[in-house]
Structure 1
Amino acid sequence: MEAMAKDEAHRLTVGEGRQAREIAYMHRPAARADAPTLVWLGGYRSDMSGTKALEMDAQAAEQGAAALRLDYSGHGQSGGDFNDGTISRWLEESIAVVDHVAPNRVILVGSSMGGWIALRMVQELVKRGKGPRVEGLTLIAPAPDFTHDLIEPALSDKERQSLAERGYFEEMSEYSPEPNIFTRALMEDGRDNRVLTGIIETGCPVHILQGMKDADVPYNHALKLVEFLPADDVVLTLIRDGDHRLSRPQDLKKLRTVLATLINEGSKIS
């Protein structure tokens, strides 16, 4: 089920019955037959109209590649309640949109939580044995397993009590006047989706961009991720003065360089 909105966003219904929600996405086809599709997977509470997402789209257009961006349920232009969101739910929506557009070859670009979802998407595509070929991963301040590795160990007694009694806790956000809400469902589902538990085989080049002044996802977390990618061609770029957003002009220039390289490499082997 798909409809076109005035703002040019497409909508795809994911799930059935009470679980149905409309997912908004933007798709621009490739201008070259040998070019892959760049897929944007955003972070927690971010959307597909953010600076880095648009930068990815612009780089894809410059090289004749396709671009696919989406908003998870409860984010941006998509329907659904944000508080119903879990990694499994947002992963399901991401895969559904990719399946619907049906590209043959993709480069997954995951920012923060989107890096976790990108890694899980690779695992799910391999498990089911069908879908697009993943030709590269670009992970920007990736936050795999952040609920288990970063949030849970730092919970205060008050936050733990709130989780137990209310089913969620709130945390002030540096990026919004509204607090971040972390639900018990998100935390429990995060444990079921952990990837930093064994070797991660992506079968493609992986490039990680990580700020060393990232207050949300410490750069040591990126170093930890690299340890679980022993079989892949992995490049980790540490940006000494970079924060979590990595949205400054110099950061975006690095992102575009990485994407350009992956697009060119993919075109050579297509």
Structure 2
Amino acid sequence: MQPSAPEFLDVDGVRIAVRHQSGKAPGVVWLGGYKSDMLGTKAEALANWASGSGHAFLRHDYSGHGESGGDFADGTISTWLSQSLAVFRRFTEGKQILVGSSMGAWIALRMVQELRKAGEDRIAGLVLLAPAPDFTAELIEPALTDGQRRDLIEKGFFAEPSDYSDQPYIYTRALIEDGRYNLVMTGPIDTHCPVHIIQGLADPDVPHAHALKLVSQLPADDVTLSLVPEGDHRLSRPQDLDLLVRAVEALIERAA
């Protein structure tokens, strides 16, 4: 089925592409990964589920991603967080389940912090897939080669081949420096809601030890960790999508 045309929300002068299916609460909000878009397999599976279940579903593309405006190289965690909060506040009502994939899990955790700081207690649960919070400091910086460090200093970025696209991944100095101001894994994380983490044991990009560390820093919340023996970073096989939908349904049931 061909997806409908997106709506656009202006956030700080950038056109952010949004797709919103109205429905009952709690709604589900999709937060994609680094250099992914809102028409990927997992987001589409949730859109189909939402259509059948009658629940609201919201997704958007960060600036420089998918159908949104802006330059990818200008993006930082703070920029994409601000856009995600603007979309959330404009298009949702009532309780919501945040579903974050890879970098989207970092955005989700930061959104919880910022919403609570503003007195907006509307997150009923989190589903985090192959979560990569703090990936700039925890996964990228420790593995930088001398050549990559030199490129960051001299060019302001380095490029790395992608397993998922013909275009290389670009990591900028601004992304890495801004990441340090958005770290969440520096101590106990209080989400004040149940959390379900789904992590593949065959993930070449985010080691499962990263998910285990995240679990250890969620001491006050009800956390479920599902380890998928042959799951890769995408977690887009039929059985992975089924696990995702069941995790969302379980959190919605708890929130009802």
TM-score (norm 1): 0.92
1:221 maps onto 2:210 in alignment = yes
Cα deviation digits, residues 202-225 of structure 1 (max 9, x gap): 111100000001000000000000
Q: Does 1:10 align with 2:10?
A: no
The answer for the alignment partner of 1:159 in structure 2 is: 148
Deviation of residue 7 (structure 1)? 4.3
Q: How does 1:45-194 map to 2 (within 5 A)?
A: 45-130=35-120, 133-194=122-183
Contact 1:65 1:263 in 2 (8 A): no
1:202 has 2:191 as partner: yes
**Alpha-carbon distance in structure 2 between the residues aligned to 1:23 and 1:47:** 12
| Amino acid in structure 2 at the alignment position of 1:26 | R
Letter in 1 for 2:139: L
Q: Structure 2 residue aligned with 1:26, among 2, 19, 23?
A: 19
User: Which stretch shifts more, 82-91 or 49-58?
Assistant: 49-58
Deviation sequence 1:71-113 (CA, Å, 0-9, x none) = 0000000000100000000000000001111311110000000
Question: What amino acid does structure 2 have at the position aligned with 1:195?
Answer: V
Q: Distance in 2 between matches of 1:57 and 1:85?
A: 26
Offset from partner CA, 1:123-181 (integer Å, 9 cap, x none): 00011113x61000000000000000000000000000000000000011000111100
SS at match of 2:187: coil
Q: CA RMSD in A?
A: 1.1
Asked if the contact 2:195/2:224 (under 8 Å) is kept, the reply is: yes
Answer yes or no: is the 8 Å Cα contact 2:100–2:106 preserved in 1.
Answer: yes
Q: What SS does structure 1 have at the residue aligned with 2:99?
A: strand
The CA distance in 1 between the partners of 2:5 and 2:204, in whole Å, is: 35
Deviation at 1:37, TM superposition (A): 1.2
How much has 1:266 moved relative to structure 2? 1.6
Output the CA distance in 2 between the equivalents of 1:53 and 1:103: 20
Which among 254, 257, 265 is matched to residue 243 of structure 2?
254
Identity of aligned residues (%): 58
1:29 alignment partner AA: S
Query: Following TM superposition, where does structure 1 have runs of at least 4 consecutive aligned residues deviating by more than 6 angstroms?
Result: none
Does the 8 Å contact 2:27/2:92 carry over to 1?
Answer: no
Query: Any idea what SS the aligned residue of 1:216 has?
Result: coil
Residues 4-39 of structure 1: per-residue CA shift (max 9 Å, x gap): xx9421100001xxxx10000000111x4xx21100
Question: Separation in 2 of the partners of 1:8 and 1:169?
Answer: 34
Query: Is the 2:49–2:245 contact (alpha carbons within 8 Å) kept by the matching residues of 1?
Result: yes
Deviation, 1:62, is: 2.4
Structure 2 residues without counterparts, runs of 5 or longer: none
CA positional deviation for 1:59: 2.0
Contact kept? 1:112, 1:141, Cα under 8 Å:
yes
Where structure 1 has 5 or more consecutive residues not aligned to the other structure, the ranges are 1-5
SS of 2:176's equivalent?
helix
